[in-house]
Amino acid sequence: MVFRYNEHQNIASLDPAFARNASTIWATNQLFNGLVQLDDSLNIQPDIAKRWEINDSTYTYTFFLRDDVWFHKHQLFGIDSTRKVVAEDFVYSLNRLKDPRVASPGSWVLNNVEHFYAVNDTVFEIQLSQPFPPFLGLLAMRYCSVVPREVVEHFGNRFRSNPIGTGPFHFKLWEENIKLIFRKNNHYFETDKNGNPLPYLEAVAVTFLPDKQSEFLQFVQGKLDFISGLDGSYRDELLTSDGRLRPDYENRVNMIKGPYLNTEFIALQTRSDKNKALQSPVFRKTLNYSFDRNVIITYLRNGIGSPGTSGIIPKGLYGYDNIEGYSYKPEKARMLLEQYKQESGDQNPSLVLTTDSNYQDIFEYLQREFEKMGIRTSIDVMPSSAIRQARADGSIDAFRSSWIADYPDAESYLSLFYSPNHTPAGPNYTFFENKVYDSLYTHAKSLVDINERKSIYKKMDSLMIEQAPVVPLYYDEAVRFVQKNVTGLGINPQNFLILKHVKKSPQTP
């Protein structure tokens, strides 16, 4: 009755206000709830709010809360050691999210919020300053979890390691970078479709092995219940070249696959002073036509994912339209390269590709293909943390990047190329700027009708292809390898870990 997984990245905090990366989100998903939640198809579902109403004319969202949700037990709650969640708790939690003294990385979630208040204990209202149709999806983010004022104010910064929420599991033990344990919340408010209380598991145990090969060995030995993703250290041991489980594992492991809202790409610094070639859309198109994305999926990804032959919006997200992007066209690439040379006078274009070691094999393939075209190419392998810093200050020109949707709307991807979002103000690391694109982006944010927004998104994605500030590589696929005695885990396009529906049966000898 204990679900065991490994977190090879450290967890920085168990405070949902700091749930900015997967490791923290996975852990805090077990401890906290918000107003709404997403199902495995990214549909908005009730959570602590049992229903809601939206007034489009005043941009007001009215949430009607359940009256049977209780915080995890803690002595600070007094005699009963717990108390019921009320609307005022959401007022406190969202105010805390935007408090500069807290410095939550999720404060941006409330950028379009004018004000919010508790009408009474079970009615909570939020009014936006302007229309923002994806707003409900933002509220499903872990940042917007409800937390108890008395516990947070008692612990201050130490709330990161003394979390109290309302989730299906409650905090038990954390030896940082060694082990983390959650226990079943016997007073959790959700039930399954038959009315049985959730969760089914008694506990969750997390280890912190930093090496993925060691993690895989623990899984093979039955000491972990699942692993997520496909690492080069065990990829060929586990899967055939076409993405099927090898015979040795078919009777021991279940593989779950599904769309993953993650686009992998090379970001090109379109204002680069070090490499003027990257300022040219013609040169950027040359790069896009110069290699076969199917080779990456077949030989370097063991069939996991799909070629990035459309725009930046990935499969599985509303707004993806399978528009024609870039495929392997070597003759067209050579023609464009000659055009670039004639227009620029640069007869010896070059390129430095920056990546971390996890993607070195893919970038070595790209290096060979670009050099076949006549583009001198070198690879700079850096730690991921160094790449993040360098892209933020604009000091690298062509680097491996990816974007995982923060919320289920294509606006999350298209915001990467909105000019006011230039780094360091936002995630526009390519310094792309286009007046038509900016105008479309602003217009789309004002549209409530999702089909109208989709039409604008298609125009923006097509413009991205035309201007080519990135080289899409592939649309990722979420893949999980699960022990045969585990059921109910499921998978979702954000690859979040949801354990409240998981069951374990005795392991077959």
Q: What is the 3-state secondary structure (H, E, C) of 110-126?
A: HCCEEEEEEEECCEEEE
Structural domain includes residue 246? no
CB 407 within 8 A of CB 44: no
Strands (DSSP E) contained in 303-345 are 306-307
Alpha carbons 450 and 444: distance in angstroms, whole number? 9
CB 351 within 8 A of CB 275: yes
Residues 298 and 202 grouped into a single domain: no
Band (235; pLDDT cuts 50, 70, 90): confident
* pLDDT for 348 beyond 70: yes
Residues 463 and 347 grouped into a single domain: yes
Residue 203 neighbours by CB distance under 10 Å:
15
Residue range(s) defining the domain that contains residue 374: 260-477
Structural domain includes residue 443? yes
Kindly report, residue by residue over 77-107, the tens digit of the pLDDT.
Answer: 987 799 999 999 999 999 999 999 999 999 9
Band (318; pLDDT cuts 50, 70, 90): confident
Residues 399 and 459 grouped into a single domain: yes
Write phi, then psi, for 392 (nearest 5 degrees): -70, -35
**pLDDT value of residue 469:** 97
State percent of the chain over pLDDT 70.
99
Token match 């679900």: residue?
3
**pLDDT value of residue 317:** 81
Residues 175 and 275 grouped into a single domain: no
**pLDDT value of residue 80:** 74
Cis peptide before 420 (omega within 30 of 0): no
**pLDDT value of residue 131:** 87
Structural domain includes residue 491? no
Alpha carbons 8 and 179: distance in angstroms, whole number? 12
Q: What is the chain's mean pLDDT, rounded?
A: 94
CATH number at residue 401: 3.10.105.10
**pLDDT value of residue 485:** 96
CB 479 within 8 A of CB 257: yes
Alpha carbons 380 and 66: distance in angstroms, whole number? 54
pTM for this entry: 0.86
Residues 168 and 264 grouped into a single domain: no
393 or 36: which leads in pLDDT: 36
Structural domain includes residue 253? no
Alpha carbons 303 and 240: distance in angstroms, whole number? 9
Residues 122 and 198 grouped into a single domain: yes
Q: Is the dihedral of CA 137, 138, 139, 143 positive or negative?
A: positive
Q: At what angle do helices 435-445 and 450-467 cross, to 10 degrees?
A: 160
CB 403 within 8 A of CB 262: yes
Residues 196 and 270 grouped into a single domain: no
Residues 200 and 336 grouped into a single domain: no
Token match 């936006």: residue?
128
Phi-psi region of 78 (alpha: psi -120 to 50; beta: other; left: phi over 0): left
Structural domain includes residue 483? no
Kindly report, residue by residue over 2-20, the tens digit of the pLDDT.
Answer: 999 999 888 999 999 999 9
Kindly report, residue by residue over 426-466, the tens digit of the pLDDT.
Answer: 889 999 999 999 999 999 988 888 889 999 999 999 999 99
Residues 186 and 297 grouped into a single domain: no
* pLDDT for 163 beyond 80: yes
* End-to-end Cα separation, the chain, in angstroms: 17
* pLDDT for 508 beyond 70: no
Residues 117 and 264 grouped into a single domain: no
Alpha carbons 67 and 465: distance in angstroms, whole number? 50
Alpha carbons 262 and 264: distance in angstroms, whole number? 6
330-342 burial, b if ≥16 CB within 10 A, otherwise e? Answer: eebbbebbeebbe
Structural domain includes residue 490? no
Residues 203 and 317 grouped into a single domain: no
Structural domain includes residue 244? no
* pLDDT for 147 beyond 90: yes
**pLDDT value of residue 335:** 98
CATH number at residue 135: 3.40.190.10
3-state secondary structure of 489: coil
Kindly report, residue by residue over 302-314, the tens digit of the pLDDT.
Answer: 899 999 999 999 8
Kindly report, residue by residue over 245-296, the tens digit of the pLDDT.
Answer: 999 999 999 999 988 999 999 999 999 999 999 999 999 999 999 999 999 9
The total number of structural domains in the chain stands at: 2
CB 3 within 8 A of CB 201: yes
CB 415 within 8 A of CB 461: no
Burial of residue 295 (number of CB atoms within 10 Å: 0-12, 13-18, 19+): middle
Q: Which tokens belong to 26?
A: 């996975």
Neighbouring residues of 248: CB distance < 8 A, sequence distance ≥ 6: none
Residue whose C-alpha is closest to residue 54's, from 126, 118, 140, 143: 126
Residues 378 and 299 grouped into a single domain: yes
**pLDDT value of residue 72:** 97
What residues does 482 pair with on adjacent strands? 226, 254
Structural domain includes residue 220? no
3-state secondary structure of 58: coil
Do β-strands 306-307 and 179-184 pair in parallel, antiparallel, or remain unpaired? unpaired
Q: What is the CA radius of gyration of the chain?
A: 24
3-state secondary structure of 486: strand
CB 159 within 8 A of CB 473: no
CB 317 within 8 A of CB 454: no
Q: Which residue stretches of 188-261 are H helix?
A: 212-220, 235-238, 247-250
**pLDDT value of residue 265:** 97
The DSSP secondary structure of 116-174, one letter per residue, reads EEEEETTEEEEEESS--TTHHHHHTSGGG----HHHHHHHGGGGGGS----SSEEEEEE
**pLDDT value of residue 408:** 85
Averaged over 235-247, what is the pLDDT? 89
